[in-house]
Amino acid sequence: MPHEQQSSESSSSQGRLTREAALEGYRRMVRIRRFEEEAMRRATAGEFSGMHSSSGQEAAIVGACLALRDDDYITGTHRSHGHPIGKGADLKPLMAELYGKATGICRGRGGSMHLADRKVGIIGESAIVGGGIPLATGAGLSIQVRGSDQVSLCFFGDGAANQGTFAESLNLAAIWKLPVIFFCENNLYAISTPVVKSHGQPDVAKRAGGFGIPGVIVDGQVLSEVYEATAAAVARARSGAGPTLIEAKTYRYDEHCLGLQVPIAYRTAEELAAYRSQKDPLSLHRAELARYGVNAGDVADIEKKVAAEVAEAVSVARESPFPDPAEVYDYLFSNPIHYPPDSGR
């Protein structure tokens, strides 16, 4: 597999996650996986248009989110269904948003790339590659100015690491010692462009040295490793010592987005099969759960509850109304403009 990495430390590090947190981590990973699988089926059936699936990247997402408090901020990307779920969001408004329904988390105006659930601290999800990095940095500055002890965690991909916003944001955060965790989900491919064809050297975390901040590489398929690295970065940020760049080496199972036909063989079927069979984050974590004394019945119980939760989310989404066309101009501005001018609204 292209990500050559050791997860041998994971066995000695599991003590850092409590049994309760390890179970919650598994529950959240299953919620992401089942949500994405069901959403892919529904979108394929034509119930709503496109999406970017997070399947395969659950440990990176949940390991990072588990290290945060409820009032900490996160920013997302185009591939961000998993981020609110990882932070603990209710599935119903997320699924309804995919369907463009009025009950959606952005009232059906945002769709798949804008599952910005503020209740769990998400200040923005945006399809602009690298666009969330300065936003998370600004949130870090806000925290510092207000004297709060929150932190801001910024998710982005390997492609975004080559945007200028990445360098500008990391430098500012480093100078001002902002409480930001720059969290790269390196899934090896920016759509179909491999890291080795787009990066001067393959480790995103090595760029941290240029800004004088720590850079940490973790196995993004191992929940406990991601959790530990993020918890250390969060502690560092809360202590006022400044930002950390974390690179989670992970993998996406589906194509870049639903329905995308990539005419070039940018990755092999063997590589994909190897990740699915040997590096699946859910399978790896189930094995760890056994060491916590969690039995098969507990795991099955989580799976069953999550399945019901996802089914209910789909049902709510389907039954919810679309936004009223008369309200199309609502939620654009805090002081709405009225258009057409004679609309009387």
Partner 1 sequence: MSLPQHLKVEAYRRMLRIRRFEEEGTRLFKEGQIPGAYHGSIGQEAAIVGACLALKDDDAMTGTHRSHGHPIGKGADLKALMAELMGKESGICKGRGGSMHLADSSVGIISESAIVGGGIPLATGVGLSAKVRRTQQVCLCFFGDGAVNQGTFHESLNMGSLWQLPVIYFCENNGYAIVTSLASSHGQPSIVARAQAYGMPGVAVDGQDVTAVYDATSEATARARRGAGPTLIEAKTYRYDEHNVGLLVPGKPYRSPAEVEEYRTRRDPIVLFRQYLMADGFTEAQLSAVESEVAAAVSEAIRFAHESPLPSPEKLFEYMYSDSPAVSVK
Interaction with partner 1 in 172-201: which residues (CB under 8 A)? 173-175, 197-201
- Return the H-helix or E-strand segment holding 155: strand 152-157
Among 107, 171, 253, 292, binds partner 1 (CB under 8 A): 171
What's the CA gap between 339 and 326, in Å, rounded? 10
Q: Nearer to partner 1 by C-beta: 48 or 211?
A: 211
Beta bridge partners of 216: 246
Residues 6+ apart with CB under 8 A from 188: 2, 3, 158, 194, 195, 251, 267
Interaction with partner 1 in 198-237: which residues (CB under 8 A)? 198-201, 206-207, 209-213
What is the longest distance spanned by two Cα atoms in the chain?
A: 68
CB of 211 to partner 1, least distance (A): 4
Q: Nearer to partner 1 by C-beta: 30 or 174?
A: 174
Q: Nearer to partner 1 by C-beta: 116 or 213?
A: 213
What's the CA gap between 138 and 142, in Å, rounded? 6
Rule CB under 8 A: say whether 128 interacts with partner 1: no
Rule CB under 8 A: say whether 275 interacts with partner 1: no
CB of 317 to partner 1, least distance (A): 39
Beta bridge partners of 183: 155, 246
Rule CB under 8 A: say whether 168 interacts with partner 1: yes
Cα-Cα-Cα-Cα dihedral sign, residues 113, 115, 120, 121: positive
> Given the rule CB under 8 A, which of 88-96, 147-155, 158-166, 289-297 is the region that contacts partner 1?
158-166
| Amino acid in the structure at residue 97 | E
Q: Nearer to partner 1 by C-beta: 183 or 275?
A: 183
Structure tokens at 193: 């462009």
| Amino acid in the structure at residue 10 | S
**Which positions lie near partner 1, rule CB under 8 A?**
162-168, 170-171, 173-175, 197-201, 206-207, 209-213
